[in-house]
Amino acid sequence: MSRLLILTSKLGYQTRSFAEAARALGIEVVFGSDRCGQLEDPWSDGAIALRFDQPEEAARHIVKQSLVRPVDGLIALGDRPLATAAYAAAALGIAYNSPQAVENCRSKLRQREILRDAGLPVPGFFSFRLDKKLERILPRVQFPCVIKPLSLSGSRGVIRADDPEQARAATERVRGILAAAGEPADASLLLESYLPGAEVAIEGLLRGGRLEVLAVFDKPDPLEGPYFEETLYVTPSRLPTAVLAEVESVTARAARALGLREGPIHAELRVDDERVSVLELAARSIGGLCSRALRFGAGVSLEQVILRHALGLGLEDLARESTASGVMMIPIPGAGVLRAVEGQAQARAVEGIGGLEITIARGRPVVPLPDGDRYLGFMFARAASADAVERCLRAAHGRLRIRIEPHAPEPVSAR
C-alpha cells in the first residue's frame, strides 16, 4: 500500500476531503500539522507535529520520521505548509516544486516582480510599509487602485480606492484587519492599479513542467470593488475560444516564470476584451469545498487526481465531465452571530442543485469580507449548460433566509 504525507494547518473540510479520497484509493495517510493537538481519530492518528513557520527545521523532522515510517509522496493543503513540503520533498527525493519556486508564489510582491520581469501582463504595483506616512506615497498612486496585504489570502483585506480619501480609509481598515490577524504593525501592503474586465479562475496540474488545464471557471458576479468577495464559479467558461487559448497560454507562461514544475495550481486572471492579465497564481489546488464542483473521467474527484499524481500513479483521463457545473460560495451578508439559515430544503429542491452545506454552526460569530476570512457555506449545481448552472445557483440562493443577530453595542459606562 502506498503511503502519502499530507501537510495541513487547517483541520476542516478540505483536509477531510483529501483523507476520504485517499481511503477510496486505498492509500495510507500520514498527517503533518502545526495544530496536531486538535487532530482526532479516525483519520489523523499518528500525526507529525510540525512548525510551518520554520520550514527547513520542519522538513528535517519529516525526514527523521520517514526513517521509521517512509512515505511515497506528499502534498500540502493551503499556503502555510508549502515551503515545508518543498524542503521535505527535496530531501526525500520526491518530485515536487523547489523551495524557491514555492516562495516565489507565496510572496505576492515577489510574484508580481517575477511575472513583470518575464513580460507577462500584470497590474502596475509597488509596496509600502504601514509605519510609513501614506501622504508620501500618494503622489505615486494612479487611481483607481487596489490596496492589499502581502500576508493574507482569500480576498481578506483587499480594498479598491478611487481617490486619496478612499485610499486613506482603506489603509486604516487594512491596518485593523492585519492587527486582528496578529500581523506586525509595520507590515507591508501592496498597492496595485485596478484592472477592469471579467475574472476567471484556472485549475490546473503540472507534470514535469507541462500544464494540463483541468477547468476554467467564469466568475459571473462582477468583481469591481470596493471589496472582492468571490461568490460564483461556473465551468466550462463562456469566453470565446481564442480568449480561452490566451488564458491557458498566459497561465502556463506564469507557472514557468515562477519555476513551478509539479502538482496542482490555482490561478486568477482578468480578461479585458482580448487582454489577459495575471492576478495571482498559487502552487496549490482550489480551496474550501469548491473542488466538489469538478469531476473527471468516470466520476474521479479533483482530490483523487492530485493524490494519484503525488504518488506517480496512472492518470489516464483528465478530461472534465461533459456536464456543466458550478459552486456558490455563500456570502455572509452582515456581521454578528448566526442564528439560522432557513429555506435550505427549498434551495435543495431547485432543479440542478446537487448539494448545499452550511459550514458555520449556529450561534457562531460571522464576519463578512474584507474583514472576515470565511464563507457561510457552499452550494453546488450541475446542468446542461453554464448558463443553466448559474441560473439554478442564483435561484437556490434566493430561497435562503439568513438570520444574523448583530452584535450588541458596547455598554456606555456611567460618569
**What is the structure's pLDDT at 12?**
67
Mean pLDDT, the chain, rounded, equals 91
The answer to whether the beta carbons of residues 330 and 397 sit under 8 Å apart is yes
- Asked if residue 404 and residue 352 are part of one domain, the reply reads yes
Span 191-206, average pLDDT: 97
Read off the pLDDT of each residue in 94-99 and give the average, rounded to a whole number.
96
- Find the domain containing 37 and state its range: 3-104
Q: Say whether both 142 and 91 belong to one domain.
A: no
Q: Mapping DSSP to helix (H, G, I), strand (E, B) and coil, where does residue 170 land?
A: helix
State the Cα–Cα distance between residues 353 and 388, nearest whole angstrom.
Answer: 11
* pLDDT at position 282: 96
Eight-state DSSP code of residue 375: -
String of DSSP letters for 193-209: E---SEEEEEEEEEETT
Q: How many domains does the chain have?
A: 3
**Residue that wins the pLDDT comparison between 384 and 273:** 384
Domain check: are 28 and 70 in the same one? Answer: yes
10 and 91 housed in the same domain:
yes
Last residue of a domain, one of 145, 174, 193: 193
- For residue 20, what pLDDT is reported? 92
Nearest one of 288, 387, 395 to 343, comparing CA atoms: 395
Buried b (16+ CB within 10 A) or exposed e, 291-320: bbbbbbeeebbbbbbbbbbbbeeebeeeeb
Determine, yes or no, domain membership for 211: no
The pLDDT of residue 319: 80
What are the DSSP calls for 297-321, one per residue? TTTEEHHHHHHHHHTT------PBP
CA angle 192, 197, 200 (to 5 degrees): 95
What's the rounded mean pLDDT across residues 116-138?
A: 93
Percent of the chain with pLDDT over 90: 79
Q: In 10 A of CB 288, how many CB atoms?
A: 19
Contact yes or no for 282/10 (Cβ under 8 A) = no
Q: What is the mean pLDDT of residues 339-351?
A: 98
User: Are 86 and 14 contained in the same domain?
Assistant: yes
Contact (Cβ atoms closer than 8 angstroms) between residue 286 and residue 302: yes
pLDDT tens, position by position, 10-25: 666 788 899 999 999 9
| Per-residue pLDDT reduced to its tens digit, 33-82 | 987 544 443 334 578 889 999 999 999 999 999 998 899 999 999 899 99
Q: Is 339:404 a contact under the CB 8 Å cutoff?
A: yes
pLDDT score recorded for residue 11: 61
The pLDDT of residue 366: 95
Residue 411 is predicted with a pLDDT of 44
Q: Does residue 276 form part of some domain?
A: no
pLDDT at 241 exceeding the cut of 90:
yes
Q: What is the mean pLDDT of residues 192-198?
A: 96
| pLDDT at residue 109 greater than cutoff 50 | yes
Per-residue pLDDT, 101: 97
- Run of H or E including 265: strand 263-272
Q: Who has greater pLDDT, 83 or 408? A: 83
Burial of residue 20 (CB within 10 Å: 0-12, 13-18, 19+) is middle
| Averaged pLDDT for residues 261-273 | 96
* Cβ neighbours for 220, distance < 8 A, ≥ 6 positions apart: 232, 234, 390
Q: Which helix (H) or strand (E) holds 29?
A: strand 28-33
Residue 32's CATH number: 3.40.50.20
**Do 27 and 98 sit in the same domain of this protein?**
yes
Q: Grid coordinates 464559479 are at which residue?
A: 233
C-alpha cell at 260: 513551478
Q: What is the CATH number of the domain that holds 376?
A: 3.90.1170.30
**Is pLDDT of 7 > 90?**
yes
DSSP designation for 138: G
| % of the chain with per-residue pLDDT over 70 | 94
- Measured between alpha carbons, how far is 48 from 63 in angstroms, rounded to an integer? 11
Where does a domain end: 193, 209, 225? 193
| Inside any domain, residue 111 | no
Q: Quickly state the pLDDT bin for 247 (edges 50, 70, 90).
A: very high
Whether residues 53 and 99 share a domain: the answer is yes
Decide: 33 and 18 in contact? Cβ < 8 Å.
Answer: no
Judge whether 319 and 10 are in contact, CB under 8 Å.
Answer: no
pLDDT band at residue 415 under the 50/70/90 scheme: very low
Residue 186 CB neighbours (<10 A): 9
Same domain flag for 98 and 133: no
Q: Do residues 7 and 90 both lie within one domain?
A: yes
Evaluate if residue 408 carries a pLDDT over 60: no
Say if CB 54 and CB 81 are below 8 A apart. no
The cell 523551495 sits on which residue?
99
Residue partners of 160: CB distance under 8 A and separation at least 6: 144, 145, 146, 147, 166, 170, 194, 224, 225, 226, 227, 228
pLDDT value, residue 350 = 98
Task: Please indicate, yes or no, if residue 139 is contained in any of the structural domains.
Answer: yes
| C-alpha cell of residue 52 | 510551518
Q: Which amino acid is at 52?
A: F
pLDDT of the residue at 414: 41
Is there a domain that residue 110 lies in?
no
In Å, how far are 4, 264, 275 from 27, measured between CA atoms? Answer: 7, 19, 43
Question: What pLDDT does residue 413 have?
Answer: 43
Are 152 and 63 in a shared domain?
Answer: no
Q: Which of 56, 73, 104 is the last residue of a domain?
A: 104
